[in-house]
Amino acid sequence: MSDVPIDLAILWALLGSSILYGVHAVTFGNAVRVLIFKKRRQARHPHLIVATFLLFSFGTAYIAVAFRHVLDAFVWYAGPGGAKGQLSQISDVLANVKNSLYIAQVLTGDAMLIYRCFMVYGRAWWIVVIPIILWIGCAILGAFVVYIPFTLHMRAVLSVSNLKPFITSAMALTLAINIFCTSMIVHRIWLTQQRSLRIFGSDGVIRGQSFSRAIGIIVESAAMYTVTSTIFFALELRTNNAEYSVAECVVQIIGIAFNLIIIRVDQGQSIETQAATSTAIHTPRVNALQPRRRSSSGYLSSRERSGASSCTPLPLHTEVVLQPLGKDRQSSVESFGKERFKSSDDSVKVVEP
């Protein structure tokens, strides 16, 4: 692939990021509407609100600095080399501010993905130990990417030999975090789907289809960031200026993917809604202190069984896929024939007597 002139790459980057910023702004507005204005006060999640505003703030600041950087190069700069000479200065203050905002956006998005994985597994710390270590490593490498250009007073492209090891390593770590956490979340949903099919039989087929759609939703959201980051990584390895165009788009895509999941939750199409329905070992509509009587055969009647499966779902958390049953609900979970359902800290299991 022939290299793209740096001035043309920066202009294409500004165009692409501006279009995606418009999409980001629309999804941000809808996400804020869901998180603040549609949620009851007790159902609001401050950490989600903070993350949504942070991602949008970083995206807004990035597009503003990028526009000023272009103006400096093409309008106000009158030094040697013209626009190309100005844009090639990696020690330029605006270029370093853009790098800082990019790293902050990536770290925020990865942190929320790790948190989502943590919640999906019932707040199990063991599942996020590796992603957290990778995230810390990515943050340290990002700090070097910001610090080193201030010590380099030379003209060079982004992939200067001094920076390339840190950039490629940081990108590899963030890709690993994204792929690992997404795969673990999808795996968790798939296990719940299989459990639903085992427990509910033919009734579980519909729930299974819902889980298949849920898997599609989360994979599509993750793919937006993973694909663009992979392209950026490949261009970085080839030392191609086209990486600038992709990098500026990634900043906005991170916020868009995050907002889309919140919006889909509100629309009842999210993994959280589907999975909470399947935990449908939800509590039957009976008092926990007054268990339902069985028929003489020892099995629940069809009427009782339908009542148990159409129970009220547990409270939903915006990014929780599986909502564990509380101890106060365990006593009200009924046995179906030889199977009895037992609540654990992170899921509902089928246990043979």
The two structure tokens encoding residue 62 = 């990035």
Which pLDDT tens digits describe the chain residue by residue (353 residues)? 567 888 888 999 999 999 999 999 999 999 999 888 876 655 667 889 999 999 999 999 999 999 999 999 898 887 777 888 888 777 788 888 999 999 999 999 999 999 989 988 888 899 999 999 999 999 999 998 888 877 765 544 444 567 788 888 999 999 999 999 989 988 888 888 778 777 766 555 555 556 666 676 677 777 888 888 888 888 888 878 888 889 899 999 999 999 988 888 777 644 444 444 554 444 444 343 344 444 444 444 444 444 443 333 333 333 333 333 333 443 443 343 334 344 444 443 333 33
Q: Please calculate the CA angle 96-178-145 and round it to the nearest 5 degrees.
A: 20
Give the count of domains, the chain. Answer: 2
Residue 45's nearest CA partner among 114, 131, 116 is: 116
Q: Is 227 exposed, middle or buried (0-12, 13-18, 19+ CB in 10 A)?
A: exposed
| Residue 1: inside a domain | no
Rounded Cα–Cα distance for residues 15 and 24 (Å): 14
| Same-domain check for residues 211 and 352 | no
| Same-domain check for residues 233 and 334 | no
Longest dimension (CA), the chain: 94
Residue 306 belongs to what domain range? 283-313+323-353
Q: Which of 221, 249, 276 is where one domain is finished?
A: 276
The two structure tokens encoding residue 310 = 């159409």
| Same-domain check for residues 149 and 257 | yes
| Residue 155: inside a domain | yes
Residues in the chain: 353
> Could you tell me which residues are beta bridge partners of residue 254?
none
pTM of the model: 0.72
| Residue 21: inside a domain | yes
Q: What 3-state class would DSSP assign to 336? A: strand
Strand spans (E) along 12-63 = none
DSSP-assigned letters across all residues of 117-175: HHHHTTS-GGGGHHHHHHHHHHHHHHHHHHHHHHH--SB--TT-TTTHHHHHHHHHHHH
Cβ(283)–Cβ(55) below 8 Å: no
Cβ(48)–Cβ(259) below 8 Å: no
Scan for tokens 């992709």, then name that residue: 246
Cβ(259)–Cβ(52) below 8 Å: yes
| Residue 303: inside a domain | yes
> Could you tell me which residues are beta bridge partners of residue 350?
341
Rounded Cα–Cα distance for residues 17 and 245 (Å): 8
| Same-domain check for residues 209 and 297 | no
For residue 106, give Cα distances in angstroms to 110, 129, 146, 258: 6, 19, 14, 12
| Same-domain check for residues 260 and 294 | no
The two structure tokens encoding residue 175 = 């890709």
| Same-domain check for residues 271 and 292 | no
| Same-domain check for residues 288 and 268 | no
For residue 267, give Cα distances in angstroms to 45, 111, 274, 277: 17, 24, 11, 15
| Same-domain check for residues 10 and 149 | yes
Q: Is 179 exposed, middle or buried (0-12, 13-18, 19+ CB in 10 A)?
A: middle
Scan for tokens 């690992």, then name that residue: 180
Scan for tokens 């609540």, then name that residue: 343
Cβ(156)–Cβ(110) below 8 Å: no
| Same-domain check for residues 166 and 123 | yes
Q: What 3-state class would DSSP assign to 351? A: strand
| Same-domain check for residues 298 and 256 | no
Q: What is the CATH number of the domain that holds 26?
A: 1.20.1070
> Could you tell me which residues are beta bridge partners of residue 340?
335, 351
| Same-domain check for residues 269 and 305 | no
| Same-domain check for residues 217 and 352 | no
